[in-house]
Amino acid sequence: MIILASSSARRRQLLGEWGIKFKICSPKVAEHSRYKRPHLVVQDIARKKVLAVAERYPKKIILGADTVVVRSARNGPRIIGKPENIGQAKKFLQLLSGTVHRVYTGVAVWSPSGKVYTDYALSRVKIKKIPREMLDSLAAKHLDKAGAYAVQEKNDLLVEKVWGDYYNVVGLPGQLTRKLLKKVQRLSSVK
């Protein structure tokens, strides 16, 4: 059994679907990073999450993740996390409307030996043009999700296309997560 360092319902659902036994311990960490590059930001925050939970469960395998949406801008990439309120969610949706953007998820796994293994996944997503009259209702729906949208919501219909790992866009890249967990489980059994 592993410890999931997350309060995300989507991550819990995915682990359950993949047959991975887990216990939840939501970390209390600031989701800010000293890094500017998206792939480093998500790995740094995922690492902080597992380190916070490792203080309580140092001899367990701990899984943490962090997801951001990144929109290209003239002055460099714009990292979009979870909106703080409905107004910010509306701005995020306006920014993403009719565009292709990137979704990064950093995954970190704590080994009982005291090491943290991290990696990240990158997917691209095309969002349909969002009519102005829909912005208010959509903005209120997904305040707990990076970019203020949910690819897994069947009736959202915002996402036109996903390139790369679909589960990365949901919040936990399947292949990468399994690879890191297997690596730590293998290293933990060889002493």
pLDDT tens for the chain, 191 residues: list them. Answer: 999 999 888 999 999 999 999 999 999 898 889 999 999 999 999 999 999 999 999 999 999 999 999 998 776 788 888 888 999 989 988 989 999 999 999 999 999 999 999 999 999 999 999 888 888 888 878 777 777 777 766 556 788 899 999 999 999 999 999 999 999 988 776 44
Q: Which of 130, 172, 146 is nearest to 4 (CA)?
A: 172
Distance between CA 161 and CA 148 in Å, rounded? Answer: 17
Are 124 and 91 a contacting pair, CB within 8 Å? Answer: no
66 is an active site residue: yes
So what's the pLDDT on residue 4?
98
Q: Has domain 2-189 been given CATH number 3.90.950.10?
A: yes
User: In this structure, what are the phi and psi dihedrals at residue 176, rounded to the nearest 5 degrees?
Assistant: -65, -45
Active-site pick, 66, 144, 156, 165: 66
Token pair, residue 161, equals 């296309």
Helix (H/G/I), strand (E/B), else coil: 132: helix
CA 180, CA 126: separation in Å to the nearest integer? 28
